């Protein structure tokens, strides 16, 4: 029974972290010309895992989903490699790593959750549509060219 309570508590903590993250990246920032960090951010499905590994990604669907570790067990490099492997196996999806030990920023605005390692999974079609809309604005002028290339390398 303690194990179940512990899992419920971890899932609740993940939910709080993700809610705060989505709220933060959905706010307009003057440093981004009034844009949001993630203009199309929404609450995803959250799947809590002990460690992010290939075996956790057996039932990918079209809903925006975040796979999040219960504690820091993976390095950013592990997540990067896993995302690239998942991309080869699932070409209709995009897998984006986020790790608290590898913070990312857009014009000095933190983009990650800052707490737990995770992988964001969404359909390539949905992401391409959002990017197409943003390409028609000055949104990407606020991005560091290297960071933009890194993010797009996961497509």
Q: What is the pLDDT of residues 38-57, one digit of tens each?
A: 999 999 999 999 999 999 99
| Per-residue pLDDT, 10 | 60
| Per-residue pLDDT, 4 | 39
With a pLDDT cut of 90, the percent of the chain lying above it is 90
Q: Is the pTM of this model over 0.85?
A: yes
Q: Summarize pLDDT for 57-107 with one digit per residue, the tens.
A: 998 999 999 999 999 999 999 999 999 999 999 999 999 999 999 999 999
How far apart are the C-alpha atoms of 66 and 95, rounded to whole Å?
9
Q: Among all chains, which residue has been given the structure tokens 């809903």?
A: 63
2 pLDDT above the threshold of 90? no
DSSP-based three-state secondary structure for 74:
coil
Contact between 37 and 25 (Cβ < 8 Å):
yes
Higher pLDDT pick, 12 / 131: 131
- Report which secondary-structure segment, H or E, holds 123: strand 118-123
CA 86 to chain centre: 14
Among 97, 81, 77, 78, which Cα is nearest to 89's?
Answer: 81
With a pLDDT cut of 70, the percent of the chain lying above it is 93
Domain ranges of the chain: 2-152
How far apart are the C-alpha atoms of 2 and 119, rounded to whole Å?
27
DSSP 8-state symbol, 39? T
């Amino acid at each position: 029974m303690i194990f179940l309570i512990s899992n419920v508590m971890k899932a609740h903590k993940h939910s709080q972290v993700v809610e705060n993250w989505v709220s933060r990246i959905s706010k307009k920032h003057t440093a981004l010309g009034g844009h949001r960090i993630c203009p199309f951010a929404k609450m995803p499905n959250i799947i809590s895992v002990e460690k992010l590994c290939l075996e956790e990604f057996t039932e990918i669907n079209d809903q925006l989903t975040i796979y999040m570790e219960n504690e820091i067990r993976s390095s950013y490099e592990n997540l990067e490699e896993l995302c690239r492997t998942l991309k080869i196996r699932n070409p209709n999806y995009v897998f984006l790593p986020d790790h608290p030990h590898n913070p990312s920023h857009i014009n000095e605005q933190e983009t990650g959750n800052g707490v737990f390692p995770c992988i964001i999974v969404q359909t390539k079609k949905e992401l391409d549509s959002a990017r197409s809309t943003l390409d028609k604005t000055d949104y990407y002028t606020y991005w560091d060219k290297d960071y933009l290339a890194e993010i797009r390398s996961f497509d």
